[in-house]
Homo-oligomer: A and B are copies of this chain.
Amino acid sequence: MKKLDFYFDFASPNAYFGYQVLKDFPEKYNCEIKFTPVLLGGIFKSTNNKPPMEQFFGVLNKNEYQSLEIERFVERHKLTKFKMNPHFPVITLQMMRGAVAADMDGYLEDYIEKVLVHMWEEPKKMDDPEVIKVAFEESGLNADKLMNQMQDPDVKAKLISNTEEAVKRGLFGIPTFFLDDEMYFGKDTIWMIEEILSSS
């Protein structure tokens, strides 16, 4: 059985896109999938990389093309619920610590599914603790417990070590996928992963 790794941070629309397409792969292609929460800011710091919005700041035509690419991806995969987050960029530290806690408690995928709604479907300012709390409660997540866990040194340390290990494995951004240890960066590589999975 093929193994698919998915490194993510809620920070980028591309994490939403990646998740929405890949989540069906285990059933569709009989593969295993493992989600690993990492901190995109930490990856950028360790690799000396920059967010695309900074990298391409002031570059003519680039934003328009990026919107077109998003449109095409949305249409292809029928991700009609997607909405750009008006508070972008949202600092995802708390949400990502929550993801580590959810992972430790065995419900990471459920957590991802729910938090993505608040980031990229009914977008909110998800770096405001009050907003996070209300959103979590709305989704039936244990907000009080999760917000405590976000301060847990073990959770904090695990997010850091996830991020460090990701960089050691070759990451410089997200979403990044590994299919049986071969690295694929960005949502626009998903078709290759799908091609391999569907033919094996």
* Interface positions of A (Cβ within 8 A of B): 46-49, 55-56, 58-62, 64-65, 68, 72, 167, 170-172, 182-183, 185, 188-189, 191-192
User: A191 — which chain B residues lie within 8 A by C-beta?
Assistant: 191
Tell me the complex Cα distance, A70–B145, Å: 46
B65 close to A172 (CB less than 8 A)? yes
The copy count of this chain in the complex is 2
12 A-B contacts (beta carbon < 8 Å): A47-B59, A49-B56, A59-B172, A60-B167, A60-B172, A61-B167, A61-B171, A61-B172, A62-B172, A64-B170, A65-B170, A65-B172
Tell me the complex Cα distance, A56–B54, Å: 12
| Nearest CB of B to A76, in Å | 9
User: A167 — which chain B residues lie within 8 A by C-beta?
Assistant: 60-61
A170 close to B47 (CB less than 8 A)? no
Residue in contact with A68 in the complex, picked from B46, B55, B171, B183, CB distance below 8 Å: B183
Known: A68-B183, A192-B72. A170 touches B61 (CB 8 A): yes
Chain B residue nearest to A63 in the complex (CB): B172
A188 close to B185 (CB less than 8 A)? no
User: A46 — which chain B residues lie within 8 A by C-beta?
Assistant: 60
A55 close to B58 (CB less than 8 A)? no
Chain B residue nearest to A186 in the complex (CB): B188
A65 close to B185 (CB less than 8 A)? yes
User: A61 — which chain B residues lie within 8 A by C-beta?
Assistant: 47, 167, 170-172
Known: A188-B188, A191-B191. A59 touches B49 (CB 8 A): yes
| Nearest CB of B to A63, in Å | 10
User: A64 — which chain B residues lie within 8 A by C-beta?
Assistant: 170
Tell me the complex Cα distance, A167–B167, Å: 36
Contacts A65-B183, A188-B188 aside, 13 further interface pairs with beta carbons under 8 A come to A46-B60, A47-B59, A48-B58, A48-B59, A55-B55, A59-B172, A60-B167, A61-B170, A61-B171, A62-B172, A65-B185, A68-B183, A191-B191
